[in-house]
Structure 1
Amino acid sequence: MLILNRTKIIATVGPACLKRSILKKMVTNGTNVFRVNMSHGSQEDKKEIIQQLKRLEMPNGERPCIIADLAGPKIRVRKVVPGFETKKGETVLISSSGQANKNTIVVSKGIKFPRVKKGASIKINDGRIQLKVDQRGSQTLLQCITTIGGKIETGKGVNFPGITLKLPALTAQDRKDLKLAIAEEVDWIALSFVRSAKDKVDIDRILKRAKVNIPIIAKIEKWEALQDLEAIINQFDAVMVARGDLGVETPPEQVPLAQKKIIKQANKMGKPVIIATQMLESMVNEPVPTRAEVSDIANAIFDGADALMVTGETAIGIHPIEVVRVLKKVILETEHTIDFDTVRQPIGRQSTADAISHATCQVAQDLSADCIVTMTHSGSTALMISRYRPNGRVVALTPVERTCRQLAMVWGISPFRIKEYKRTEDIPAIVEQKLLAKRVIRIGRKYIITGGVPVGVPGTTNYLSIQTV
C-alpha cells in the first residue's frame, strides 16, 4: 500500500524511542526516514542504533532509509569554572587555549580568530547569552563585553555570526563516524555547518576511496552558507534548513525569509530540501502542538519542502508516536488543499531528461492518469519527476536496493523494489504486476511510464509511455 503523504517525515532516534515496539508504531503512523544523530554516544552505541533500525520493515517491505547526521565542527564551551555567571557590562575573555578562570571561558581546541572587528557578536547557548568583541588579544584570544548575561556551562554551543573562522569541514570525530556510516551502509549522510560548496571535497574523497556512492545533505546553518547558497545546492545532493543554529548565526527575523529562499532555489535545481528544528518543540513535553507549530509545518509544505524533520521531539520527548501522528495529520490536511498541477514550475535545464519529465507530468494531468511510474536504477528519473510536483501518485520501481531506500526521502515518491530487467519490452508487464499487487491502481485505469533507454544507464530518461491496466 502506498504511503499517502507526499511531504516526507524524518524522525530522529534517541532514548525516547529506542524500543522496537515504539519504532514500529512510528513507522505505522507515517515515519518515512530515520535520522541518527552522530553527535551523541559511543561508536558502539551508534552502531547498535543503526543496526536496530535495519531490523525494521517499512510498508514497502524494505528496511528504513537511514540518515547519518555528522556532528561537524561545532564550537562549544570546553572549559569553564563551576558556577560561572556573567552579567551585562562585564568583561569576559574567550580563549581556544589555556585554562579557564573567573574571567575566561575556553572554547574548542584549534580555533583561531584571524580577522575580528570590534563590536562583532558572540552568542552562547543558542543566543541566550551574548557578548560583543571589545578587542582581539591574539589569534586565540578575544576580549569581550557581556550584552546579555547568564550562567555558562561546559558543552554549550558558541556561535560567531559574521566572523570567518578557520575550521575543517570534517573533524576527527566526523571521520570516525563516516567510516562507521559507510560500514553500516546508511543511505544518506548529512554534513553539518557547511560554509561553502568546497566543503564537500573531503567527504567525496573518502567515499571514493571506500568505493561507495552515498548522497550528501548540506545542512544550511552558518551565515557563510547563505553567501554561497546556489553553489552549495548545485554541489550537494540535498539540503537541510537547520533553523536552530541558523537562527543564532543570523537575526531570527531573517530565518523565515532564508527558509523560503533555500526551498525555492532547491526546488528550482531539483534537489530535495528538508526543514528541521523545533517543528513540534512543545511536544517534547506536551501531548498536543501549539497553533503556531501547526502553521509553521503547513507553511513549509506550501513553500515546497520535500521533508520535515523532528529532532528532540522523538529522540528525547515523551510523545514520540504522537509527534509523528500529528505531523502526518497536518501534512495530509495541508496537501489536500493544494492543486499541484497549478503550481508546477517551468522546465529546468534544456535537456531530453528534463523535457520528458516535465511532459510526463503534463500528460498525466491531461489524461487524469492515476499515477506516474518511473523506472530507475540511480534514482535520477524519480528525482526529476518529483521536481515538477505532479498531482497524481508517483511510483518509483527499481532493482537497486539502496536506491529504493534513498528515494523514501524524496517528495511524492513511493519506492518499490523489483527484479532486475534487461529489455524495454518487459517493462509494461513488470509495472502492471507490481501496481496491481500493491493495490496502487484498478483495472481499466491509465498510468504513465517513464524511464531511460538503454536500460540501466543512469541519467538517460528519454521516453514516456501511456498504459491502461
Structure 2
Amino acid sequence: MRRHRRAKIVATVGPASNTPEMLKRLFLAGVDTFRLNFSHGTHEDHAKVHAAIRALEAEMGRPIGILQDLQGPKIRVGTIRDGKITVAAGESIRFVLSGADGDKTAIPLPHPEIFAAVMPGHNLLIDDGRVRVAVTGLGDDYIDAKVVIGGTISNRKGVNLPDTVLELSPLTAKDRVDLAFGLELGVDWVAMSFVQKPADLLEARGLIGDRAGLMSKIEKPAALDRIDDIIRLSDSVMVARGDLGVEIPHEEVPGRQKELVRACRLAVKPVIVATQMLDSMVNAPTPTRAEASDVATAIYDGADAVMLSAESASGAFPVEAVEMMDRIIRSTEQHKLYRSIIDASDPGEEQTAPHAVAAAAADLAEVIHASTIVAYTSSGTTAARIARRRPAVPILAITPHAAVSRRLSLLWGAHSVLSADIHTYEEMVERALGFAKEEGFAKPNDQMVVVAGIPFAKAGTTNNLRVVQVEG
C-alpha cells in the first residue's frame, strides 16, 4: 500500500477517532503516524487505541507509527474568589505563592520555581496571552505586576513566561508514570513538552534508552536560543506552534518554522509542523484558504510531516481533515515550483563519507531517471541521509527491525518494508529487485540505485552504492 506523496501525516487520536473502525478509515485516508495525547485520557483508553493500531498494522501489512505525547509541566493560576476577576490595562496586581480564593491583591500562583527565577520586566501571559502583565517588583512569596493587556483571569488558567527560564524538569511525576506505561506498550516516539535547554533531554534519554525515539517539542523561546544542541540530542523535533505562538510574537512564528525545518534537515532529524493546521475543520467540512496555504507552506519548507490535533481528535470531520491534508500535500508536491523551492533550501553537505554516499545516490538516481532509491538501513540512518536531500525519486527503505520500520513512517519520502538481514551482494540485489517490483516501485527495464553499508547489518556504515537494472 503505497502513498503517492513524500511528506507524512500525523493524526491525534481522541473521542472522535478512537474506535478500530475510525482508526482504519483514518489510515486509509492517509495517516502514517498516530499521536496519543497523554494530557487527556486514561491509561486504559490509550492501551485500547495502541492495541487497535497494532491490529490494524497487522491487517494492512504496513508499519504504522505511534507517538506518545507527554503532558509536561503545566503552570496555572490557583483558585480565585468568585471564579474570576477582571483586570484593566494600567492596573497593579499581585501574585502570591500560596493562598486560596485570591483577588487582585493576592492571585494564587502556586509555583515556587517562578518566584525563584522571574525578574522585573519579565512578562506573564495568562490564558494563552489574552491577559498580559509585566513584573514590577517581587519578594520571596509575592510578585507585583502591571497589567499591559486587560481581560478576565479565571480559575486554573494557564500561564506562559516567555522571558523566564525556569528550573523546572520537563518530566513531571505524571509524565514519568505515563512514560513507563508508554514504553511498556511499545510506542515508537516519545514527545517531550516544554523543552527549554539541552539538559532537559538527558533524563528522558536515560529512561527511554533506545526503546523509542525521543522527540523535542519546541514551544519555548529559551529552546530557540539553544536549538542546535537540542536538535543534536533529539531523534526528531515538533514545531509546536500553539504555545510557541503565545510566547513569541505571531509575526515571528513563520520565520522560526522555516529555521527549525532547515536546522532539522541539516541535522538529519525528522521534523513535524503542528498546531491549528486545518483548525476550522474541527467544525466545518472544509478548511479556510489560509489553512490550506499553511499546510502547503510547511510542505514547501521541506517538513517531514504535518500534524492534525483537535481536527482528528475531537472534531466533527476527522476523516475529511486527513483526506484534505493528503490532497494538499500531493497537490503541493506536484506543483511546478515545488522542486525548485525544495532544491533552493538544500542545507548543503556534511563533510562525511556516509553523507557523501547518500547525496551521491540521490543525485545519481535523478540523473539516470531511476525509478527508486533502495536503502538498506539497520537503524534508519541511511534512509534519513538520503531523505535529507529531498530527492525527486522515491525511497524504498528495507530494514530488519519492526521498530525502525515504524519510526520511518515519520520520515520524508520513505516507504519502509521489513526483511531479514542480508549477507552478500547477490542477496542485496535480489531482495532489492523483489521488493521494488512487489511494492510497485519498479517495472521491467527500469534502473534503481541501491545504497547499503558494508559490512551488512551494521548501523551507521552507509558506504556502498550501485545501479541495478530491472530485467525486461
TM-score (norm 1): 0.95
Partner of 2:57: helix, strand, or coil? coil
Question: Which residue in 1 is equivalent to 2:219?
Answer: 221
Alignment partner, residue 348 of structure 1: 349
- 1:122 aligns to 2:124 (yes or no): yes
Deviation at 1:8, TM superposition (A): 0.7
Q: Which residue of 2 aligns with 1:150?
A: 151
- The residue that corresponds to 1:8 in the other structure is 8
CA shift at 1:59, angstroms?
A: 8.8
Task: Report the CA distance shift for 1:344/1:160 in structure 2 as closer, same or farther (over 3 A).
Answer: closer
**SS of alignment partner, residue 458 of structure 2:** coil
Q: Which residue of 1 aligns with 2:137?
A: 135
Residue 302 of structure 1 aligns with an amino acid whose one-letter code is Y
Q: 2 CA distance for matches of 1:325 and 1:59?
A: 21
Aligned length: 465
Q: Does the 8 A contact of 2:122 with 2:164 survive in 1?
A: yes
Q: Is the 8 A contact 1:96 1:112 kept in 2?
A: no
Q: Aligned partners of 2:324 and 2:356: how far apart in 1?
A: 37
383 and 60 in structure 1: CA distance in 2 versus 1, 3 angstrom threshold: farther
Secondary structure of the corresponding residue to residue 422 of structure 2: coil
Residue type at the aligned position of 2:194: F
How far has the Cα of 1:58 moved from its partner?
Answer: 7.6
Q: Deviations over 1:367-418 (max 9, x none)?
A: 0001101011111100100001100111101111010000000001111112
Aligned residues of 1:85 and 1:149 also touching (Cα < 8 A): no
Shift in CA distance, 344/150, structure 1 to aligned 2, threshold 3 Å: closer
Change (3 A) 1:40 1:189: same
Q: Secondary structure at the match of 1:396?
A: strand
Three-state SS of the structure 2 residue aligned to 1:134 is strand
C-alpha deviation, 1:75, in angstroms = 1.1
Alpha-carbon contact 2:87-2:153 (below 8 Å) kept:
no
How much does 1:115 deviate?
4.1
Query: Which whole-Å deviations, capped at 9, do the CAs of 1:8-35 have from their partners, x for residues lacking one?
Result: 1100001111122221111111111100
Paired residue secondary structure (1:279): coil
| 1:281 partnered with 2:279 | yes
Tell me, yes or no, if the aligned pair for 2:30 and 2:326 is still in contact at 8 Å.
Answer: yes
Contact 1:449 1:467 in 2 (8 A): yes
State the AA in 2 paired with 1:36: L
Measure, in 2, the Cα distance between the counterparts of 1:339 and 1:438. 25
* 3-state DSSP of counterpart to 2:154: coil
Is 2:241 the partner of 1:243? Answer: yes
Q: CA shift at 1:71, angstroms? A: 0.9
Amino acid at match of 1:20: P
**Partners of 1:102 and 1:343 in 2: how far apart?**
55
Distance 1:92 1:25, change over 3 A: same
Taking the aligned partners of 1:177 and 1:12, their CA distance within structure 2 comes to 17
2:113 corresponds to: 111
Partner of 1:410: 411
TM-score between the two structures when normalised by the length of structure 2: 0.94
Checking the alignment, whether the CA contact within 8 Å between 1:27 and 1:58 is kept in structure 2 is: no
CA drift of 1:318 comes to 0.6
Tell me, yes or no, if the aligned pair for 1:13 and 1:34 is still in contact at 8 Å. Answer: yes
Note the residue ranges of structure 1 that are not aligned, 5 or more in a row. none
Q: Which amino acid is the alignment partner of residue 158 of structure 1?
A: V
Partner residue, 1:18: 18
Q: CA deviation at 1:7?
A: 0.9
Percent identity, aligned pairs only? 37
2:204 maps to a residue whose letter is: I
* RMSD of aligned Cα (Å): 1.8
* Pair 108,404 (structure 1): closer, same or farther in 2 beyond 3 Å: farther
Q: Could you tell me which runs of 5 or more consecutive residues in structure 2 were left unpaired when the two chains were aligned.
A: none
Q: Which moved more, 1:195-204 or 1:336-345?
A: 336-345
Superposed displacement of residue 206, structure 1 = 1.2
CA contact (8 A) 2:372 2:395 kept: yes
Contact in 2 for aligned 1:16/1:317 (Cα 8 Å)? yes
Structure 2 partner of 1:421: 422
